[in-house]
């Protein structure tokens, strides 16, 4: 939720018209710009530009560097100016949450492996998804703690799945996943994406729960195709 709040806050910062104009001006420049340049470009007073530029930095939308604009060095060259440029980090919000970036990473890894070693791209995708699931499983195990109770394991698994957009819902001994982070891909390439999804979540369950959770395909309307059941 902290990451989601950060992304929403960043996007929301651009709802303010002056802030949005300053961001668009800075983003369009080939080099970092000073406050004076940004103020002139957006047509606002310098003190107004300073306030909003620094807010955009706080929200992670702009980054700062320092450089002497005169180009001179040494004594008498003056203090370096604070310059603004677009931050390299990506900020996006989708509701319900989608993780097409993760699907793209797994598919790219599978294509790389197949191009290098040959074999089936579907098998390679399954291996890539399983490796990702094992990483998440380690997070679940660490969150649940040593000698974790069944309830602690269920809670840790839910938190890990929630952080990746699955919207887990505990129903008795079953974790239903109310959202598919790969919705559009799964709709158009159901077998491919559901197989990838199962491999990822199955590995998460195996590594994170000590085999106390099992994953299976159980497609349903308006939810993820995978269901987790406590053993």
Tokens matching residue 125: 């995708």
Tell me yes or no: is domain 2-86 CATH 3.30.1360.30. Answer: no
Tokens matching residue 124: 């390679």
- What gap in Å lies between CA 25 and CA 23, rounded to an integer? 5
- pLDDT of amino acid 87: 87
Q: Where in the chain are the domains? A: 2-86, 100-230
Contacts of 158 (CB under 8 A, 6+ apart): 168, 170, 175
- What gap in Å lies between CA 166 and CA 214, rounded to an integer? 16
- What gap in Å lies between CA 100 and CA 122, rounded to an integer? 18
- pLDDT of amino acid 220: 86
- pLDDT of amino acid 89: 73
- pLDDT of amino acid 172: 87
Of 197, 207, 203, 196, give the one whose Cα is nearest residue 153.
207
- pLDDT of amino acid 8: 59
Tokens matching residue 183: 């919705």
Contacts of 30 (CB under 8 A, 6+ apart): none
Scanning 29-96, the segments in alpha helix (DSSP H) are: 35-42, 46-58
- What gap in Å lies between CA 96 and CA 84, rounded to an integer? 33
Per-residue pLDDT of the chain in tens (231 residues, 90 and over written 9):
566 666 656 677 788 899 999 999 999 898 999 999 999 999 999 999 999 999 999 888 899 999 876 665 655 556 788 999 998 776 666 667 889 999 999 999 999 999 999 999 999 999 999 999 999 999 999 999 998 898 899 999 999 999 999 999 999 889 999 999 999 999 999 999 999 999 999 999 999 998 899 999 999 888 999 999 988
| C-alpha to C-alpha distances, 210 to 134, 148, 184, nearest whole angstrom | 12, 10, 32
- pLDDT of amino acid 92: 66
Scanning 81-211, the segments in alpha helix (DSSP H) are: 100-117, 121-144, 150-163, 183-188, 190-209
- pLDDT of amino acid 9: 66
Of 229, 135, 125, 131, give the one whose Cα is nearest residue 182.
125
């Amino acid at each position: 939720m902290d990451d989601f709040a950060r992304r929403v806050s960043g996007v929301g910062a651009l709802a303010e018209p002056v802030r949005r104009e300053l961001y668009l001006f800075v983003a369009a420049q080939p080099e970092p710009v000073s406050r004076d340049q940004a103020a002139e470009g957006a047509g606002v007073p310098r003190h107004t530009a300073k306030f909003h530029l620094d807010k955009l930095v706080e929200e992670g939308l702009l980054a700062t560097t320092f450089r002497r604009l005169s180009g001179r060095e040494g004594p008498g060259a003056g203090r370096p100016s604070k310059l603004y440029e677009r931050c390299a980090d990506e900020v996006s919000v989708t509701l319900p949450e989608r993780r097409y970036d993760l699907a793209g990473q797994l598919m790219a890894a599978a294509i790389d492996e197949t191009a290098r070693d040959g074999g089936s791209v579907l098998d390679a995708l399954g291996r890539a998804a399983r490796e990702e699931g094992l990483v998440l499983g380690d997070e679940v195990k660490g969150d649940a703690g040593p000698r974790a109770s069944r309830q602690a394991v269920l809670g840790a698994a839910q938190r890990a799945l929630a952080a990746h957009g699955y919207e887990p819902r505990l129903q008795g001994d079953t974790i239903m996943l109310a959202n598919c982070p790969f919705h559009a891909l799964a709709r158009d390439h159901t077998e491919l994406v559901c197989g990838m999804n199962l491999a990822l979540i199955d590995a998460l369950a195996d590594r994170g729960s000590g085999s106390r959770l099992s994953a299976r395909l159980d497609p349903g309307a308006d939810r993820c195709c995978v269901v987790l059941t406590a053993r």
